[in-house]
Amino acid sequence: MTKRRDFLAANSGKRAPMPGFILLVRRRNDGDATMRVGYTVTKKIGNAVVRNRIKRRFRALAHEILPVSGVAGADHVLIGRLDGLTRDFAQLKTDLAKALVKVAR
């Protein structure tokens, strides 16, 4: 996802806060089963180096977890938190799996 309107629309969907990120999921209901993913990390978290490092971790996380557990036909947005940088990657994976289960209900 790259357009601002898509991120704003995803904000009206379901949310699952976790220590390293906040997951937003919104079903598009347009008949397309593809999953879209967006990442956002604000300047409050840190400088460009820190923000990009968190986004790289989120991309790797989404690449592993979303094809298996993601919601088909939905937009997924990961909003970074400061713990997303220092939290163990295995713990982030379990957090994302928990968040997806919580949102799927």
Check which CATH number belongs to the domain holding 33 and give it: 3.30.230.10
What is the average pLDDT across 73-83? 94
Instruction: Decide: 85 and 54 in contact? Cβ < 8 Å.
Output: yes
Q: 25 is in which domain, residue-wise?
A: 4-104
Instruction: Decide: 23 and 96 in contact? Cβ < 8 Å.
Output: yes
User: What is the domain count for the chain?
Assistant: 1
Question: In the predicted model, what is the mean pLDDT of the chain?
Answer: 94
- Give 31-68 pLDDT, tens digit per residue: 888 999 999 999 999 999 999 999 999 999 999 999 99
What whole-number distance in Å separates Cα of residue 98 and Cα of residue 23? 10
